[in-house]
């Protein structure tokens, strides 16, 4: 008790005023900078989550990265599940702004029943080169990547690998720890486009997610290389289902089956994924709350992508475009990565449905433009 007293007292000695501590956000363009005021900061500065995560931990990445020229970044991260509660004055408005007006009182619905998806098995493979669905999961009881200790990170790895090792059938696979990988294994994973590298993005580095690399990090995939799990990269787990061609239904089937099986395995071990009925699945970055789901395709739309109404069409379909290297890359040869823009406030099935329907329409438009026809009559309404 005395030790705690002393340490508490010492902790307060160097505290200068909150005005002195407030970051200079005058050059900044991210969600955190838009929302954080002196009053809010003054209030939140005296708090910590039960794991000792503070406001500075939440906002450091946003302070260090004034803004992406084309993308409005979030500018904050969670260090643990409790962050979203303890710092809700900051995070609720950010969530609202980022997720299309999602209110602190709104409820998020989870739907991982693949039978509810209509169609999706017939996207034209002449245009749709590959289909992919990814999400993230956090294991309750462990701090998130910005804040976890080495022991916790290793705990996440151990628990995850145990769960994944008990998958069977077409989901049976193998784990490759980043630090134990042989050269041959590494090359194979690179050739398969599976290997993830140490983060270089300053958005991730500034939040402390790359500490102790590559300790506790690894990749698991099934034998057919269609179901893949990243361990301890930007989230505890990133779960990916993918295959060549346009059968998004099969991809989503496998995704849901795999996720549900993994969740059951964790429950058997006495833990669960971080989830609540307001925020859905809790992940490190507020942008991935809810479903954390990005369903997308690589699709050849050279004509459509040059069309004046391309951006408008995407906006109405609630889709976004990226280059074929993923976020922050350029498109190559008219082939784009097209995926859902939303994460929170829509269920998994709803989001994948939007992608399936939207991509079908884009391919239709591409075909029309190839023939020199207009696409005005099939312009979609705003979803």
Cβ nearer to other proteins, comparing 87 with 255: 87
b/e map 64-103, b = 16+ CB within 10 Å: ebbeeeeeebbbbbbbbbbbbebbebbbbbbbbbbbeebe
358 in a known ligand binding site: no
Cβ nearer to other proteins, comparing 81 with 350: 81
Cβ nearer to other proteins, comparing 216 with 246: 216
98 in a known ligand binding site: no
326 in a known ligand binding site: yes
* Cα 227 to Cα 258: distance, rounded to the nearest angstrom: 8
To the nearest whole angstrom, how small is the minimum distance from the Cβ of residue 42 to other proteins? Answer: 11
313 in a known ligand binding site: no
Beta-ladder partners of 241: 133, 227
Contact in structure between 37 and 23 (CB atoms under 8 Å): no
To the nearest whole angstrom, how small is the minimum distance from the Cβ of residue 269 to other proteins? Answer: 14
Cβ nearer to other proteins, comparing 199 with 380: 199
137 in a known ligand binding site: no
Contact in structure between 203 and 209 (CB atoms under 8 Å): no
193 in a known ligand binding site: yes
Binding positions for other proteins, rule: CB under 8 A: 1, 4-5, 7-8, 10-11, 13-14, 16-17, 20-24, 43, 46-53, 56-57, 60, 63-64, 81-82, 85-86, 140-141, 143, 147-152, 154-155, 179, 205-206, 208, 210-213, 215
SS3 of 213, please?
coil
To the nearest whole angstrom, how small is the minimum distance from the Cβ of residue 8 to other proteins? Answer: 6
To the nearest whole angstrom, how small is the minimum distance from the Cβ of residue 78 to other proteins? Answer: 13
Alpha helix ranges (H) inside 16-136 = 18-21, 31-35, 38-44, 55-64, 83-86, 88-98
Cβ nearer to other proteins, comparing 8 with 308: 8
Residue in the structure block whose two tokens are 């475009």: 321
339 in a known ligand binding site: no
Q: DSSP code of 30?
A: B
Cβ nearer to other proteins, comparing 82 with 357: 82
327 in a known ligand binding site: yes
Q: DSSP code of 174?
A: E
Cβ nearer to other proteins, comparing 137 with 300: 137
To the nearest whole angstrom, how small is the minimum distance from the Cβ of residue 142 to other proteins? Answer: 10
Terminal alpha carbon distance of the chain = 58
The CA–CA distances, whole Å, from 256 to 110, 115, 134, 250, 259 equal: 11, 10, 11, 10, 5
* Cα 142 to Cα 278: distance, rounded to the nearest angstrom: 20
To the nearest whole angstrom, how small is the minimum distance from the Cβ of residue 365 to other proteins? Answer: 44
To the nearest whole angstrom, how small is the minimum distance from the Cβ of residue 83 to other proteins? Answer: 11
Alpha helix ranges (H) inside 45-195 = 55-64, 83-86, 88-98, 150-165, 183-191
Q: DSSP code of 345?
A: S
To the nearest whole angstrom, how small is the minimum distance from the Cβ of residue 50 to other proteins? Answer: 5
Cβ nearer to other proteins, comparing 46 with 268: 46
Beta-ladder partners of 300: 335
131 in a known ligand binding site: yes
58 in a known ligand binding site: no
Residues that constitute the known binding site: 130-134, 193, 238, 294-298, 322-327
Residues that constitute the known binding site for ATP: 130-134, 193, 238, 294-298, 322-327
């Amino acid at each position: 008790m005395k030790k705690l007293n002393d340490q508490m007292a010492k902790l307060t000695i160097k505290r200068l005023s909150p005005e002195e501590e407030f970051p200079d956000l005058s050059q900044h363009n991210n969600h955190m900078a838009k929302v954080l005021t002196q009053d809010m900061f003054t209030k939140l500065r005296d708090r910590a989550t039960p794991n000792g995560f503070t406001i500075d931990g939440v906002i450091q990445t946003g302070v260090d990265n004034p803004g992406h020229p084309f993308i409005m970044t979030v500018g904050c991260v969670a260090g643990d599940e409790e962050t979203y509660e303890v710092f809700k004055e900051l995070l609720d408005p950010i969530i609202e702004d980022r997720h299309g007006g999602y209110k602190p009182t709104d409820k998020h619905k989870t739907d991982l029943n693949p039978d509810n998806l209509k169609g999706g098995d017939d996207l034209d493979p002449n245009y749709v080169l590959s289909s992919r669905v990814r999400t993230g999961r956090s294991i309750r009881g462990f701090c998130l990547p910005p804040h976890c200790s080495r022991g916790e990170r290793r705990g996440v790895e151990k628990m995850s690998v145990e769960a994944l090792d008990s998958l069977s059938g077409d989901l049976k696979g193998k784990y490759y720890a980043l630090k134990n990988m042989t050269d041959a294994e590494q090359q194979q994973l690179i050739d398969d486009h599976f290997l993830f590298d140490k983060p270089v993005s300053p958005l991730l580095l500034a939040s402390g997610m790359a500490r102790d690399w590559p300790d506790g990090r690894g990749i698991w995939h099934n034998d057919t290389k269609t179901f893949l799990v990243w361990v301890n990269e930007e989230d505890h787990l990133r779960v990916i289902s993918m295959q060549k061609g346009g059968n998004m239904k099969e991809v989503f089937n496998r995704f849901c089956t795999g996720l549900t099986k993994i969740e059951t395995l964790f429950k058997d071990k006495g833990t669960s994924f971080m989830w609540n009925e307001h925020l859905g699945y809790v992940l490190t970055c507020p942008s991935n709350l809810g479903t954390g789901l990005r369903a997308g395709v690589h699709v050849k739309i050279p004509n459509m992508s040059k069309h004046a109404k391309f951006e408008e069409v995407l906006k109405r379909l609630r889709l976004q475009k990226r280059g074929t290297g993923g976020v922050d890359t350029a498109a190559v040869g008219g082939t784009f990565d097209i995926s859902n823009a939303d994460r929170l406030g829509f269920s998994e099935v709803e989001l994948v449905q939007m992608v399936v329907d939207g991509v079908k329409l884009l391919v239709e438009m591409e075909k029309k433009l190839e023939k020199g026809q207009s696409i005005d009559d099939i312009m979609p309404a705003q979803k």
